[in-house]
Amino acid sequence: MKIVTIIGARPQFIKAAPFSEIFRKNNEEILVHTGQHYDKNMSDVFFEELRIPKPDYNLGVGSGSHGLQTGRMLEKIEELIVKEKPDGMLVYGDTNSTLAGALAASKLHISVFHVEAGLRSYNKLMPEEQNRILTDHLSDLLLCPTQTAVGNLKNEGITASVLNTGDIMYDVVLRNIEISQSRYSNGAWLEELREQNKNIPIFTENEYYLATIHRAENTDDQKKLFEIFSAFEKMDKPVILPIHPRTRKLINKLDINLENVTLIKPVGYLMMLYLTANAYMVVTDSGGLQKEAYFLKTPCTTLRDQTEWIETLDNDWNVLSSIDVNTILKTATRELDCLKYPQPMLFGDGKAADHICHAILKGGK
């Protein structure tokens, strides 16, 4: 079987790795990077460390408005489909690349396989939510990470060719956590951070908060940013925050003394796994990091009013927080009763890539 796989951002490369390894043993996969996100950290080392296949095509679309970006992708992916003549199109998640791939394939009557189908935040102000819904309704095979996702699709009248394969990100975490722990144990993590960043204080494992802020609804709102960082300054433990240069510039305008917050350059996946696994708590607005924290049994506070990963809310492993200093502080410094409870297997058996591969080769049966 020959398929084209569309990816557009670093998290999608990471998700694609375990599937590609299995599928390529007896089948052909054409890996296409749309260039939606350019990541200078995606060097040869990145691909080698995580055993990720390099793209066969890079469309170089770059940034732009949603319409401009998606339109350019649609045009280039359509040309590529006509050239390669695949049996199917595999798309991951909820980016503009996901939607563009699904649209291009559907219009050319190529089967669409959607990994991470059925997720819903029920907030259509999020572009990701629109991409999810549209992609699911275009797809021929809907590969869901959880039973909740299956139920969401059923509520929208989609029941044919819907499978709960488990979450492929769980595969990725299991595949890389031992590598991460081996590489960064015995203080190697702190040594590397100090090599790449100036004035890094000494941190103790399990005695820091790991924070990330990247959603436009937070970074583009000065009032929200002020509330978030004011709360971070009042935390009972130091905060480590890998930050994008654009967000760093916005913070500099807020005139906040960051004595309890250490801003560091963006880190690689293995380092991020280590920081997550050894944090006291994760505080984030990221969908993926909420889930990785859950997999690694690290409590989480999510700086959003809703989450597409509602399973993580069980027993308060993850708790949502509105953007308000007092609410953030109260939520992040809560008693961690979740540590008393075992986690149910809500995200599959860690073999989602096998299940996805089997479903595609069997035509969804």
Q: What amino acid positions are annotated as catalytic residues?
A: 214
Please tell me the total number of residues recorded for the chain in this structure. Answer: 365
| Cβ contacts of 241 within 8 Å, gap of 6 or more | 210, 211, 212, 213, 232, 261, 262, 263, 264
Q: Are strands 281-284 and 261-264 parallel, antiparallel or unpaired?
A: unpaired
**First-to-last CA distance in the chain?**
16
Residue whose C-alpha is closest to residue 166's, from 179, 153, 147, 181: 147
Q: What is the DSSP string of 276-290?
A: HHT-SEEEES-HHHH
Tokens 């998640």 correspond to 93
d(CA 224, CA 74) in angstroms, rounded, equals 35
d(CA 365, CA 355) in angstroms, rounded, equals 11
d(CA 188, CA 126) in angstroms, rounded, equals 38
Residue whose C-alpha is closest to residue 314's, from 348, 343, 279: 343
Secondary structure letter of residue 52 according to DSSP? P
Q: Which two tokens stand for residue 259?
A: 């004595």
